[in-house]
Structure 1
Amino acid sequence: MILARFDYFAAVEHLLKFPNVEIVQGYGLTESGGGATRMLGPDEAKQHGSVGRLAENMEAKIVDPSTGEALPPAQGGELWLRGPTIRKGCVGHDKATAETLDSEGWLKTGDLCYFDSDGFLYIVDRLKELIKYKAYQVPPAELERLLHSNPEIADAAVIPYPDENARKIPMAYVVRKPGRNVTAGQIIDFVAKQVAPYKKIRRVSFINSIPKSPAGKILRRELVSHTLSSGSSKL
């Protein structure tokens, strides 16, 4: 089974349901014309959390989104891809083509990633999902993984919340597990002990369920819209 983009938790769930099935991860986009990375064999499959190494004939680099400078291994930035299967552009949409493809044929994926020293790719988040807190950028997916690790929490989503001083602050919508009574303060402290100060969750609201698409993607826009219209009252 090959999973793309941010399906790490889906892979774990399938592994628990089908213990005798080998599950590996890969990564690809519509714009890449297929898989850009893949895992081969049981040894590579042990790199949990990674989506594998580059596929044949595919080039990649991690780029600083602000400067366009290529970054070394272990540093996070936007993933750029180039290869024979990369699309040539958007028909009739020159502006969209220019925004996603540079003059040398590099596809700007919009995904925040990094390579380790062995060439394995790790996806952190979508660039457009990053929360701009003061001069820092906070990836919601990182905070959501921490929240999911809390035994009191069934599900969670992190969104930007307007703030006069910081511009945006990370806010968490949390679904408690049945019979659990974890408080907002406990959740804030739980995350604060594991992240840098600028990544701390600063606001929590409890809801019955996280809105998601049929594919399981968090519908952050719905949460943001609800927050702005109702002052983050209970859903």
Structure 2
Amino acid sequence: MELPGVLWRDVRGTVVGAAVGIAAFLAGFVATFVLQRDEFAESPALGDELAAVLGPDLGDVAEYVADWLQPEPVEAVGWFFYASHYVDLEVTVTTLGRSMRWTADLQQTPLWDDELALVPPLVLLTAGYLFARWHHGRGGSALACGVRLAFGYAAAASAGVSVVSYSRDAGFARLTAVPDLVTAVVYTATYALVFGTAGALLYDAYGPKNGARGTLDQETSATGQRDPGE
């Protein structure tokens, strides 16, 4: 099977698959918020944790401005959702023209919940299964389903990086925190390809046999049995 040719010949399938990938990303984002809603409530806890991940050089200073450091809920949700794909947070501090940069692994903070790591696989398995149920009636393969989902999922992840970008400016000092863009695109695309394809394979193995493919087979059979003289 020539995969690129299949993707371009069935433009509708590619567009729908990408849309399902985008929807899966948004669903994962919402699921992350639901699981961590208590942590994202209005409280200084998240600001305290952000101060802690700044490291020994700035952590003591940041403790005094934890309220000011408090990120918006959408930013915090995004950080943890990207972290569930093992995408680290890039932290940059600029003071008097000098910059320091390092990465923060949110999975190592007390706010991290191991359940969050299950969100992307479960969402993508479901998306792959549902998309395959529609698309396999059009002759698509499991791998093609996974690739199509990956297009949309990675595109949403790329756009989401700017949405969850965090910045605080005190005049003499500036703090920014943002998921690494390249890592986010590569890792989310890989997740979508692997688990989206796995979801499609689950449909192949256990999905209903009387779905779209069954309808197509029945139509083909009826056409083949038709009297040639008709």
| TM-score, with length taken from structure 1 | 0.25
In terms of fraction of residues, the more strand-rich structure is 1
| TM-score, with length taken from structure 2 | 0.25
Could you say which structure has the greater relative contact order, defined with CA pairs below 8 angstroms and 6 or more residues apart?
Answer: 2
In terms of fraction of residues, the more helix-rich structure is 2
